[in-house]
Chain A
Amino acid sequence: MAEVLVYVDHVDGAVRKPTLELLTLARRIGEPVAVALGNGAADTAATLAEHGAVKVLTHDASEYAEYLVVPKVDALQAAYEAVSPAAVLVPSSAEGKEIAARLALRIGSGIITDAVDLEAGDEGPVATQSVFAASFTTKSRVIKGTPVITVKPNSAAVEAAPAAGAVEALSVTFSAQATGTKITGRTPRESTGRPELTEAAIVVSGGRGVNGAENFAIIEALADQLGAAVGASRAAVDAGWYPHTNQVGQTGKSVSPQLYIANGISGAIQHRAGMQTSKTIVAVNKDAEAPIFELVDFGVVGDLFDVVPQLTEEIKTRKG
């Protein structure tokens, strides 16, 4: 059976959920061979094996933490040459897309980014994408070279599928470009204890209607009752009420949770671009004409300062 290379996104050996989703998709096309780089690379093996990796290629070097993107491209290319896979799958993070693109160029292949689904096809894997602010769905194929495809978080279920997960050391020679862009400092993002925005099953967002940084406590209280991540519109971020890392939309994160709750958000096209594919959408907005109501499964026309706390209380009561 053909092998499929899966690039592993991990933090010091802790595999991030989108990678496990990639393994589910990879198994539809062939046998997943994982590539884990950097500090803790070998620690990823057990988790990857549980989810279907037949092999885990690992390599650690200080270059991965000290220089931007290119060392990882060099390593992925080395893995590609060692394995000759039927496809290469990479998580659709900002960095993942850059790594995938440079690899594709080097190996003379086409690249598809931000797939939301992947199936085996007679002429190679077929990727589903959601385009024009999620108003269209396309099916695409790479028609030259080995398909390189980046896949968005929440595109497939994480499935247990025990496999060998044999760890093998990857041999990597860094290119002349590898040390071009130096990372001179790194400030890790502080954990809020809430789920990762792009991975969360429920997202509770606030917009301009929240009217102040201090009022985001209302949004957070609801999120915490639901075990949800907190999102924000660009208007709320630009006003300095909530961090940019929580922005949902075209220039922020794109989310596709089971449930999205928009509070005081009008539903501009650029915001929709990041949340329109959510399974269930709920909105609270005092303007009955707000475009967000075109998307909702359930909407409340009302003041969020009344509705949201009442909702939070009610959930608390129901949970008992």
Chain B
Amino acid sequence: MSLRIVVTVKYVPDATGDRHFADDLTVDRDDVDGLLSELDEYAVEQALQIAENADDAEVTVLTVGPEDAKDALRKALSMGADKAIHVEDDDLHGTDAIGTSLVLAKAIEKAGYDLVISGMASTDGTMGVVPALVAERLGVPQVTLLSEVSVEDGVVKGRRDGDTASEQLEASLPAVVSVTDQSGEARYPSFKGIMAAKKKPVESWDLSDLDIEAEEVGLDGAFTKVEAATERPARTAGTIVKDEGEGGKQLAEFLASQKFI
């Protein structure tokens, strides 16, 4: 039987753009160009490698996001994923991590899966909790934050480099995996891949397709509320000196004046 891999990918505002908040204190997604979160490219890459090493596998990329999020799916398809699912609904605006995990879990179940692969964190929210939440909802093992991953005979293995130790993990499929940016460079889409992606199927689902009520998600369904967002004041201009042989000493003088030495 074929190995069904679902990769969750997020469409995010470009981190190098001037990101800010909309009037309702949600992330403004209109004024900054969006793209496939770079950290999810690593998830797509590992999914493709696992699929290449399996006898028979199918890689589906899944996103929950606005109309433009299709761009993220196209990118993943041009890297080599087989098909895509876009969950889009006006009522999703403002959904938080708990809500997102609900939508993802329902969509993953509807799609059918043996293995879910996510990125380590989204580059806008940077919470790094959605994969654990999806595992909790699906009731399957979480094998997260892997810098190395492999699948063989229905078992996923990987290495998790933690704060105090590096751990070897193992779980039976079905499971939810997330991979870090240490897992291996993501491939660039080839011209052929980009052309092929145009013909690959992209399904669109809304909340009713997933039996989710509008109140369970969106800004109204959120479990958390941003009450204020203020731009960090620009740091006051510091002193900059050119090293003319005394740079290190000048720096020492500054550090001494600040009582660091």
Which residues from chain A sit less than 8 Å from chain B, CB to CB?
Answer: 11, 68-70, 73, 93-95, 97-98, 100-102, 104-106, 109-114, 126, 130-145, 176-177, 180-189, 202, 226, 244-245, 250-251, 258-259, 269-270, 273, 276, 280-282, 284, 288, 293-303, 306-315, 318-319
**In the complex, chain A residues whose CB is within 8 Å of the CB of B141:** 68, 177, 180-181
Contact of A245 among B15, B101, B161 (CB under 8 A): B161
Q: Is the CB of B170 within 8 A of A181?
A: yes
Of A113, A136, A312, the contact of B231 (CB 8 Å cutoff) = A136
- Max chain A CB contacts within 10 Å: which of B124, B230, B249? B249
Query: In the bound complex, what is the Cα–Cα distance between A315 and B250 (angstroms)?
Result: 11
A sample of 20 cross-chain residue pairs with beta-carbon separation below 8 angstroms, ordered by A number, consists of: A68-B141, A102-B133, A111-B224, A113-B127, A136-B21, A137-B229, A138-B25, A139-B226, A140-B224, A181-B175, A250-B123, A251-B120, A293-B240, A298-B239, A298-B254, A301-B247, A306-B248, A314-B251, A315-B252, A319-B261
Q: Is B166 an interface residue (CB 8 A)?
A: yes
Q: Which residues of A contact B123 (CB under 8 A)?
A: 250
Q: Are B142 and A68 in contact (CB under 8 A)?
A: yes
Contact with A along B137-166 (1 / 0, CB 8 A): 101111111010000000001001111111
5 cross-chain pairs, A with B, having the tightest CB-CB distances, nearest first: A302-B243, A310-B248, A110-B223, A180-B141, A185-B168
A143 touches B223 (CB 8 A): yes
The interface residues of chain A lying within 8 Å CB-to-CB of B226 are 138-140
A312 to B252 Cα, complex, angstroms = 8
Partner of A298, one of B165, B223, B238: B238
- Whether the Cβ atoms of B235 and A186 lie closer than 8 Å is no
Contact A188 B165 (CB under 8 A): yes
Instruction: A68 to B167: give the CA distance in the assembly, Å.
Output: 10
Q: B15-37 interface mask toward A, CB cutoff 8 Å, 1 = contact, 0 = none?
A: 11001110001000000000000
* A137 touching B171, Cβ below 8 Å: no
B261-A309 in contact (CB<8A): no
Return chain A residues, CB-CB under 8 Å to B135. 102
Interface size class of B (residues with CB under 8 A): 35 or more
Q: Are B224 and A110 in contact (CB under 8 A)?
A: yes
- Complex Cα–Cα for A176 and B234 (A): 51
Central interface residue in A132, A143, A184, by most chain B CB within 10 Å: A132
From A114, A141, A183, A250, B225 is in contact (CB under 8 Å) with A141
A110 touching B143 in the complex, CB below 8 Å, given contacts A105-B133, A182-B171: no
Known contacts: A106-B136, A181-B143. The answer to whether A307 contacts B128 by CB under 8 A is no
Interface check B2, CB cutoff 8 A: no
Q: How near does chain B come to A70, taking the closest CB pair, in angstroms?
A: 8
Q: How far is the CA of A313 from the CA of B181 in the complex (A)?
A: 37
A187 to B229, CA, bound (A): 41
B229's partner among A136, A141, A144, A319 (CB-CB below 8 A) is A136
Q: Which of A134, A186, A306 contacts B168 (CB 8 A)?
A: A186
Q: Does B199 reach chain A (CB closer than 8 Å)?
A: no
**For the complex, what is the distance from the CA of A316 to the CA of B167, rounded to whole Å?**
40
Q: Do residues B250 and A300 form an inter-chain contact, with CB atoms below 8 A?
A: yes
Residues of B within 8 A of A145 (CB): 223
User: Assuming A184-B169, A282-B255, A311-B252, is B232 touching A294 (CB within 8 A)?
Assistant: no
Q: Is the CB of A111 within 8 A of B97?
A: yes
A142 touches B239 (CB 8 A): no
- B258 sits at the interface (CB 8 A): yes
Write the nearest CB–CB distance from B156 to chain A, whole angstroms.
Answer: 9
Do B162 and A109 touch (CB < 8 A)?
A: no
A259 with B255: CB separation less than 8 A:
yes
Partner of B19, one of A104, A135, A226: A135
Contact of B223 among A93, A111, A180, A189 (CB under 8 A): A111
The residue in B157, B166, B248 that gathers the most chain A C-beta atoms within 10 A of its C-beta is: B248
- The reply to whether B239 and A101 contact each other, CB–CB distance below 8 Å, is no
User: CB-CB < 8 A to A73: which residues of B?
Assistant: 136
B39 contacts A by Cβ under 8 Å: yes
A183 and B158 alpha carbons, distance in the complex (Å):
10
Contact A314 B231 (CB under 8 A): no
Among B39, B97, B163, B245, point to the contact of A94 (Cβ < 8 A): B163
Chain B residues whose C-beta falls within 8 Å of the C-beta of A136 in the assembled complex: 20-21, 229-232
Docked-complex contact A270 and B39, CB < 8 angstroms: no
Q: If the complex has contacts A102-B133, A298-B239, A298-B254, are A183 and B164 also in contact, measured as CB distance less than 8 A?
A: no
